[in-house]
Amino acid sequence: MDNSNDHPAGATAESAPDHLLDGLRTELDRVDARLLDTVRDRLRICARIAHLKQRHAIPMLQPGRMQVVHARAESYAHRNDMSPEFLHSLYALLIAEACRVEDLIIDGPGVAPAELRETRT
């Protein structure tokens, strides 16, 4: 069968939109895998911070530290041509989850939720 008309003039199989889309989605999937691992690792560190706070009676909520984290994200947004509002919202979610996990540890029997235990890879 003659497939010479399958692609517009000048386009090859390699540059067809579907092929390009597949390649970009593969790249995106790899970045998402790293992103999810990074979010997990961030929460695991927060769990360790919570244990430390519990042992030394340090308050869970640290508004000054939250300001530092938000300010760094805002500065990053400006330097990388991203929306500061978007990064603020993203960090608000990350911090809220960190606080939820920390509360569970500090108020509970001192055991991290299963998904955050250090032993898992």
Among 47, 73, 98, 112, binds ligand ISJ (CB under 6 A): 98
Among 19, 51, 54, 66, binds ligand ISJ (CB under 6 A): 66
Subset of residues 4 to 43 that bind ligand ISJ, contact rule: CB under 6 A: none
Residue at shortest CB range from ligand ISJ: 98
- Closest to 73 measured CA to CA, from 97, 101, 94, 50: 94
State the minimum distance, in angstroms, from the CB of residue 59 to ligand ISJ: 8
Identify the DSSP state of 115.
Answer: G
Identify the DSSP state of 14.
Answer: T
Single-letter residue type at 91: Y
Which spans of this chain sit near ligand ISJ (rule: CB under 6 A)? 46, 49, 61-62, 65-66, 69, 94-95, 98-99, 102
